[in-house]
Amino acid sequence: MKNLDRRQWLKTMGLTSGFTLMGGLSVAAFESTFPSRPLALPIKLSSNENPYGPSENVRTVIKNSFDIACRYPFEYLRKLVQEIADKEGVSKDCIVVTGGSTEGLKATGLLYGLHNGEVIAADPTFQSLLRYAEYFGAYVHRVPLNDKLEHDLEAMAKRITSKTRLIFLCNPNNPTGTLIEKNKLRDFCLSNDDKAVIFSDEAYYDFIMEPDYPSMVELVKQDRNVIVSKTFSKVYGLAGMRIGYLVARPDIADRLKKTVMANTNVLAIEAAREALRDDEFYKFSLKMNTEAKAHIYSTLDHLGLSYIRSHTNFVFFKTGIPIQELIGKMGQHDIQIGRPFPPLTEWARISTGTIEEVKAFGTALRKVMV
């Protein structure tokens, strides 16, 4: 897959500052060809956004697309659906484009939560699907993470009953940044998708640096009972445009389409199409994310704070103080950090901003944690 090749490219190039990039291009020259972001207060490191996007190419396409903004999106959507299908290696009938991947999560929560369906998920994890399912009558089995703050797949399997309709896996997990070991992930899906649909939320899949780590789209290709969600919000930097997609077997995709309410728009569609082509910005985003995480790790090491090495664009670390207290103290230094994630009330989530932003975070945290 193309994205696996990109991640392997980045891994082999070194992942540290000071290395030489494509064609002998220096880091400084490489960065100068991509968007910069002036430091502005407050510094928002709370929502796992890509601070550099949209790319310059995407911005140009958005500006040039205003002439068609008066049109309904259906004709333009067909082109994007085919391009996503080509990227994922599936038929276009497997793709459901939504107004952000969160809409795909909610549509799934509605579909499988109706009529008192039961859902199984880790705790804590991303809540949109679960809360929407509960709103429509589902019962959600929230299974605590293990002592490494990873999905406890064995405990989740034990919760499966005849009423279970969906098993939700956020992988890598938000807020912990942990990754399910690839063989365990595949075995879990193959062992349980005949009992309930498996939903694999892969919003952060692009940031995984483990070689040959599979997307569960591979199981969709095998006609398994699996749904995968992906987004243009993270590595592509289009969080404000609201566009994502689901990948599922055609019969499941058809059912999901009936529950989708928030469609996307022409500008977001054209932006997403260009983002898929902008390979250099994709690589740039991954590189800068790795550098920002390195700065965060350095700060946490200096302070002796425990943290989880992340497979995402954020870091989860143990503060030793109530998170609401830390949020308030960091706010006094104009740094916004992640919301509480109970029951882990002494853990904080910090997003990877620009290098300037994560350096400012480090300065503020050193003052707060004295």
Return all residues near 28 (Cβ < 8 A) that are at least 6 apart: none
Our count of domains for the chain comes to 2
Q: Which residue from 304, 337, 313 is spatially nearest to 323, judged by alpha carbons?
A: 337
> Based on the domain organization, do 11 and 78 belong to the same domain?
no
> Based on the domain organization, do 226 and 241 belong to the same domain?
yes
User: Which of 221, 251, 277 is the last residue in one of the domains?
Assistant: 277
> Per-residue pLDDT for the chain (370 aa), expressed as one digit of tens each?
344 454 454 444 344 333 344 444 444 545 555 666 778 899 999 999 999 989 999 999 999 999 999 999 999 999 999 999 999 999 999 999 999 999 999 999 999 999 899 999 999 999 999 999 999 999 999 999 999 999 999 999 999 999 999 999 999 999 999 999 999 999 999 999 999 999 999 999 999 999 999 999 999 999 999 999 999 999 999 999 999 999 999 999 999 999 999 889 999 999 999 999 999 999 999 999 999 999 999 999 999 999 999 999 999 999 999 999 999 999 999 999 999 999 999 999 999 999 999 999 999 999 999 8
Expressed as residue numbers, the domain containing 309 is 2-54+279-368
> Based on the domain organization, do 125 and 247 belong to the same domain?
yes
Q: Assign residue 289 the CATH number of its domain.
A: 3.90.1150.10
User: Which of 277, 309, 342 is the last residue in one of the domains?
Assistant: 277
> Based on the domain organization, do 92 and 235 belong to the same domain?
yes
> Based on the domain organization, do 266 and 308 belong to the same domain?
no
Q: Supply the pTM of this predicted model.
A: 0.91
- Alpha helices for 159-278 (secondary structure H): 182-192, 217-220, 250-257, 266-277
Alpha-carbon distance of 44 to 354, in angstroms, equals 10
> Based on the domain organization, do 338 and 364 belong to the same domain?
yes
Return all residues near 325 (Cβ < 8 A) that are at least 6 apart: none
> Based on the domain organization, do 83 and 221 belong to the same domain?
yes
